[in-house]
Structure 1
Amino acid sequence: MGLNDEVGRRLKQLRQDEGLSLSELARRSGVGKGTLSELETGRRNPTLETLYALTTALGRPLSAVLDAPDPDPGTTARTGGVSGSAVTAVLMERYEDDEAATDVFRITVAGGATQESAAHVPRTTESLMVLSGTAVVGLRDAPQTAGPGGHAHWPADTPHFYSAPEGEVQGVLFVRYPKGAAPRD
């Protein structure tokens, strides 16, 4: 089963588990009903922005629709990557405890590009550890710059962005979703 099929199957299952129609999830997420239908049937390639819109509307972390991380920590080949307008993210780890779920992604931000990210569920936070390049990330009114070995941390329950103004950025992104946070309606 390919990425499109697997993501579609998981999206449909989450939607049905929440008792939502295609129309209602489309309304809550701002994703067109036709697009959602094509995603659920594996006929459309999911983008990072679209998947975040849908999982946020469902009150779930992005990892809920991506391939599970490889259980062998020695394995370097990973699946489950998804791309947006500037960011490509590969799910590396998912950790869950009584308080929150944390997704860990290996990300690449394309050089000279910027990607806007919509607000996630309330109380979600993001932290980026930069491996190479210089990233400008976070909130528009409080951007943070981080170079190799540096990091940035920001609330992700408000619109935020990722930028690589000086060339490609490689990093590790931690997205922490608190338990019991209500989806945005």
Structure 2
Amino acid sequence: MQDPAPPLATIAAALRAERERAGISIAELARRAGVAKSTLSQLEAGTGNPGIETLWSLGVALGVPFSRLVEPPTPAVRVIRAGEGPRLSADRADFVATLLAAGSPDRRRDLYVMELEPGQPREAEAHLPGSVEHVVVAAGRIMAGPAAEPVELAAGDYISFPGDAPHRYEALTAGSWAVLVMEHR
């Protein structure tokens, strides 16, 4: 699987805006998110190579959905062609998520396409309190769900589980992919 480049300019602007909205310093946000201050400074400068885990930690520390950090403002009609869109890869797993649509403040949900390959599972930390993940497998087979009780799913299967507790995704066959709807309360 190709290692996609993250949308660095969008991430830099969003991190800076959300940090300023929260009224906290770079040092304080870095402490809350458990990331190095130098890493956060690089991200706000539009450099560095953030993984999903780092961005999730920053989103949780800021109290905002992950999508708010990677999604640029959208026009009224939006088309994302297959293989396009903001793609982010995991640091420790062959896992790529493409954000298709982000929720607004009154509709807090995000829509992703996830591409997974066999190997290291994607171990996800807890997201914002009240988060729920809805997954429909489109191709292949994956194990997904709470970290302690993942469920094997095949193409066409659906699972819903709390996203505010540790959870995991693991491809059991090559070329697996799924659609993820993330609800935030």
TM-score (norm 2): 0.87
Aligned to 1:171: 178
Q: In the alignment, is the contact (CA less than 8 A) between 1:112 and 1:168 conserved in 2?
A: no
**What RMSD over aligned residues (CA atoms) do the two structures have, in Å?**
1.9
Q: Is the 8 A contact 1:112 1:166 kept in 2?
A: no
Question: Which residue pairs with 1:94 in the alignment?
Answer: 102
Offset of 1:73 from its aligned partner?
5.0
- Amino acid across the alignment from 1:76: R
Residue 116 of structure 1 aligns with an amino acid whose one-letter code is: E
State the identity %: 31
CA distance in 2 between partners of 1:177 and 1:75 (Å):
23
Q: State how many pairs are aligned.
A: 176
The normalised TM-score by structure 1 is: 0.87
* Structure 2 partner of 1:183: none
Give CA deviations for 1:103-154 in whole Å, capped at 9, x if unaligned. Answer: 0001101223301111111110111110001110111221111110111111
Gaps in structure 2 of 5+ consecutive residues: 1-5
Change in CA separation of 1:50 and 1:75 when aligned onto 2, cut-off 3 Å:
closer
Alignment of 1:100-115 (within 5 A): 100-115=107-122
**2:81 aligns to what?**
76
Please tell me whether residue 66 in structure 1 is matched to residue 85 in structure 2. no
Note the C-alpha offset of 1:165: 2.6
Per-residue CA distance 1:25-82 (angstroms, 9 max, x = gap): 1111111111111111011012111111101111111110113467545541532111
CA contact (8 A) 1:8 1:41 kept: yes
Specify the code of the residue in structure 2 equivalent to 1:171: A
* AA aligned opposite 2:21: D
- Distance (Å, rounded) in 1 between the aligned partners of 2:76 and 2:122: 30
Which region of structure 1 is more displaced relative to structure 2, 165-174 or 11-20?
A: 165-174
Which one of 149, 158, 170 corresponds to residue 165 of structure 2? Answer: 158
Partners of 2:160 and 2:124 in 1: how far apart? Answer: 15
Q: Secondary structure of 1:157's partner?
A: coil
- Displacement after TM superposition at 1:8 (Å): 1.0
Distance 1:164 1:145, change over 3 A: same
